[in-house]
Structure 1
Amino acid sequence: MVCGIGYAWTSPSIPKLNGNVDPQNNPLSRPTTILEDSWITALQNLGAAFSPLFIGIAANKYGRKKTLIVFSLPMMVSNIILIFANSVSHFYVARFLVGIGTGCVFSVVPLYVAEISQVTNRGFTSMFLGLMITSQQLFVYVIGPYTTISTLAKISLIPSVLFLLTFGFFIPESPYYFVMIGNQVEAEKSLAKLRQKSKSDVLKELTDIIKSVEQSKTEKSSLKDLIKSKVVTKCLLTAVGLMFFQQFTGILAIVPYLQTIFDATNSSIPADVSVMMVGLVQFITTAITSRIVDKVDRKILLIASNSGILFSLICLGTYFYLQTNQFNVDAIFWLPIASIILYIICFNFGIGPIPWTIVGEIFPPNLKTHLNGIVTFLNIIFGFLIAMFFPTLSLVLGMALSIWIFAAFTAVSILFIVYFLPETRGRSFLEIQIMFRDGRSK
């Protein structure tokens, strides 16, 4: 939830900081520049790229639960700083801190959720990451334009407190982690609390977990051996490919700058209303996806998702092209918001959440934390580059060409999914490893 607030925060806040909207609510003594806006937006991603470097070590040594709790603290401090921020440097620090927690969210949450879930509902439970993020993005889109930056930060502290109280006191550690450190007694207790099933069923699942962990220990864990292992290399390339295309569909050029993009369209629909409509659609589609992700093949969802994104980006780029070249676009005033709504719908039922689901499934248990950290680091670096340079790119190349570049990457991503991505729905961790070893895609 805090991560979602961080990603959506820039949409209502950047126009306040640069003086385009409600200059009287700007906590700074002067409007921010385009470069400062870019840094404020992108520093969440830069901070998120920093934390995965330590996540693998922490999650393996201290456990998934303690790691999540510790890395939630910088996110709490971030909002405390925003309450009192009155200089650009304050916003830089706050955005970097929320990014540190964001890196932990995307490194550890998919891993933890996959490890505590059953095969039959692993896709469904993995969708809660996206559901919580989009619910808070909608929240920020609705109240952000009508509150000060300080008030929004105060409200944003609530999820941090709720997390520490609920997760800290009531949620068990991953049974996989306990098995990996040789504590089968605690692993059984964790499973019993998670499953609420008979002891025989718990012991049967515990046996499967032990087999999976023991199988994974045959894989070497040094960097040299990781490179030599064809199975691990295939898993890593698959995950990195998914994350690259997830970011280069342009999501971090769209969501953080929603209000700015809608302002640039000069549409008769107010920008803040358009943003709220997009946020509502984003939340609803994520909720729907959570119900179908275990019923429809991952590849089908991803192909349909990226095909819809490709169409929406072509349409949005066309609108800006016509507008820039002095065509009368009054008759298609609805096209920008329709295109972005279609984009959000398609992103949220496929390329947005499903790569995180797949990443939580495909890595060997003994290497998951290290490889998740690498994949998360690269995903966030890709996002940082887009968030940082999109404003400048759109000024230099124009909004139309910038958006069409994302469309080209999306077209390539469809080919990647069709020819290189294996299907993981309904398979155990051990079955997925065998599938990668044998080079099967179905």
Structure 2
Amino acid sequence: MGPENNPLQRPTTVLEDSWITSLHSLGAAVCPLFIGPLANKYGRKNTMIIFSLPMLASNIILIFANTVSLFYIARFLIGVGTGCVFSVVPLYVAEISSVENRGFTSLFMSVTISFQQLVVYIIGPYVTIRNLAIISLIPSGLFLLTFGLFVPDSPYYFILVNKKENAINSLTRLRQISKSYAEKEILDVINSVEQSKTKKSPREMFRSKIVLKCFLISSGLMFFQQFTGILAIIPYLQTIFDATNTSIPGEISVMIVGLVQLNTTALTSKIIDIIDRKKLLIASNMGVFLSLVSLGAYFFLLSNGSNVSKLNWLPISSILGYIICFNLGIGPIVWTIAGEIFPSDLKTYLNGLATFTNIMCGFTISMLFPNVSLFLGMAWSVWIFAICTALSIIFIALFVPETRGKTFLDIQVMLREGKIK
């Protein structure tokens, strides 16, 4: 394999593969720790623009990377940018959306990510790493140009910094509504911000039962989202498909999965404001659980020398079922709820901490999965995720509130009163 296809001119080790995969999550974990103060001080928009620069730098490094160290740096930097995306974008989208379509708009990020993954799955096997990095510069440039020049900041941010007129103008532009209607809606924004305002320190904040409850619900959802195994399944899709000995080439199977992922995420955006979030989450986890059990069963039979030639359809069917069910609920809706349940003035801080939980769980899984699968075997590695998914169903049923059709203030009142339906 020449330098065009492999700039390192040698195969990477299992440990190097683990670090290249997981450093993205480690970089992403850095950002949420300080993203809250930045987003409140400089605005949601400026924070997103600032943290798009590490993504830009990452792809520039990959164009010239010829050592493992440079790949480590590039993966870490793109992770830093990703951490900002998952911390601030759900917050920004929730704050600019109306109650009626907040679920729909909250899935724009998930649809975009699914589309990006599909593009990489399609072109990745046929271009060099250098050319893929060059192509990846295009969306970063478009974001800086369009978002930076034409999109206003969140009306909630403007209210937090006492810029009421800017908040009205922001709503007018973003929603395409009249100024008089925007002025009426801003009164709800002001009321929501005032009701939840606090000057408490982080330690004092967590002494508040409502804040602690919101944080535990959000962090619990983040934890269980990752421990369904998504960061073991997605990065190692081709490895998993190659290990099944099916007749379909691994790279083709990955493309099929990417296409299904995009379409199911788009479908979720259509139904999230029609069906209760909680019902979608529970149904999603049930489907993920069954898919993981069947995938683990295939690997168990394969590792024990059973004849699985008549079951070649099972691995791809299980993974497709997994992707469909994950993207119909636990994947995107966790981020929707995270953008909805926190008090307005604490959203940037607490959402950042919940995102940190999500990313560190993802880092742990992506780092350990290759070695755990070698030690325990693929079957038990998959079944561990199935067990976590079953626990997730119990957690959602007992503790997660229904947020569909409710204002931010309604959600806070509901949590304060201990209602979850």
TM range, smaller chain: over 0.9
Partner of 1:316: 295
Partner of 2:221: 242
State whether structure 2 residue 108 is matched by structure 1 residue 123. Answer: no
Q: Secondary structure at the match of 2:339?
A: helix
Does the CA contact (< 8 Å) of 1:259 and 1:272 recur in 2?
yes
Partner of 2:172: 192
Cα gap change, 1:378/1:354 in structure 2, threshold over 3 Å: closer, same or farther? Answer: same
Supply the AA of the counterpart residue of 1:181: V
Inter-partner Cα distance in structure 1 for 2:394 and 2:3: 46
Shift of 1:23: 8.5
CA offset digits 1:311-336 (Å, max 9, x no partner): 00000000000000000000010110
Inter-partner Cα distance in structure 2 for 1:220 and 1:281: 46
Inter-partner Cα distance in structure 2 for 1:198 and 1:28: 58
Supply the AA of the counterpart residue of 2:16: E
Partner of 1:12: none
1:215-294 alignment, distance < 5 Å: 215-217=195-197, 219-294=198-273
Q: Which runs of 4+ in 1 moved over 6 A?
A: none
Shift of 1:87: 0.5
Partner of 2:139: 159
Shift of 1:419: 1.1
Equivalent in 330, 335, 338 of residue 314 of structure 2: 335
Partner of 2:335: 356
Taking structure 1 as the reference length, the TM-score comes to: 0.94
Partner of 2:274: 295
Q: Secondary structure at the match of 2:52?
A: helix
Report the more deviating stretch, 261-270 or 40-49: 261-270
Unaligned 5+ runs, structure 2: none
Shift of 1:424: 0.4
Partner of 1:8: none
Partner of 1:378: 357
Cα gap change, 1:221/1:129 in structure 2, threshold over 3 Å: closer, same or farther? Answer: farther
Inter-partner Cα distance in structure 1 for 2:88 and 2:182: 24
Inter-partner Cα distance in structure 1 for 2:44 and 2:181: 24
Inter-partner Cα distance in structure 2 for 1:268 and 1:196: 52
State whether structure 2 residue 64 is matched by structure 1 residue 84. Answer: yes
Does the CA contact (< 8 Å) of 2:155 and 2:170 recur in 1?
yes
Partner of 1:25: 5
CA offset digits 1:57-92 (Å, max 9, x no partner): 110110000000000000001001111111100100
Partner of 2:389: 410
Shift of 1:191: 1.1
Q: Secondary structure at the match of 1:412?
A: helix
Partner of 1:175: 155
Shift of 1:220: 4.8
State whether structure 2 residue 185 is matched by structure 1 residue 205. Answer: yes
Inter-partner Cα distance in structure 2 for 1:115 and 1:221: 23
Does the CA contact (< 8 Å) of 1:68 and 1:104 recur in 2?
yes
Supply the AA of the counterpart residue of 2:368: F
State whether structure 2 residue 32 is matched by structure 1 residue 52. Answer: yes
Partner of 1:142: 122
1:389-408 alignment, distance < 5 Å: 389-408=368-387
Does the CA contact (< 8 Å) of 2:4 and 2:128 recur in 1?
no
Q: What is the root-mean-square deviation in Å for CA atoms of aligned residues?
A: 1.0
Partner of 1:7: none
Shift of 1:224: 2.5
Shift of 1:29: 2.5
Inter-partner Cα distance in structure 1 for 2:285 and 2:228: 8
Partner of 2:344: 365
Q: Secondary structure at the match of 2:206?
A: helix
Equivalent in 19, 36, 60 of residue 39 of structure 1: 19
Does the CA contact (< 8 Å) of 1:52 and 1:103 recur in 2?
yes
Shift of 1:54: 1.7
Unaligned 5+ runs, structure 1: 1-18
Supply the AA of the counterpart residue of 1:167: F
Does the CA contact (< 8 Å) of 1:221 and 1:367 recur in 2?
no
State whether structure 2 residue 85 is matched by structure 1 residue 108. Answer: no
Supply the AA of the counterpart residue of 2:143: F
Inter-partner Cα distance in structure 1 for 2:235 and 2:177: 44
Shift of 1:198: 2.2
Taking structure 2 as the reference length, the TM-score comes to: 0.99
Q: Secondary structure at the match of 2:406?
A: coil
Inter-partner Cα distance in structure 1 for 2:288 and 2:382: 11
Q: Secondary structure at the match of 1:268?
A: coil
Shift of 1:346: 0.4
CA offset digits 1:285-312 (Å, max 9, x no partner): 0011101001000011001100000000
Matched residue pairs, number?
A: 421
Cα gap change, 1:394/1:193 in structure 2, threshold over 3 Å: closer, same or farther? Answer: same
Cα gap change, 1:325/1:263 in structure 2, threshold over 3 Å: closer, same or farther? Answer: same
Supply the AA of the counterpart residue of 2:17: D
Shift of 1:199: 2.4
Inter-partner Cα distance in structure 1 for 2:223 and 2:3: 37
% identity of equivalent residues? 66
Q: Secondary structure at the match of 2:254?
A: helix
CA offset digits 1:111-137 (Å, max 9, x no partner): 000001100010000000100000010
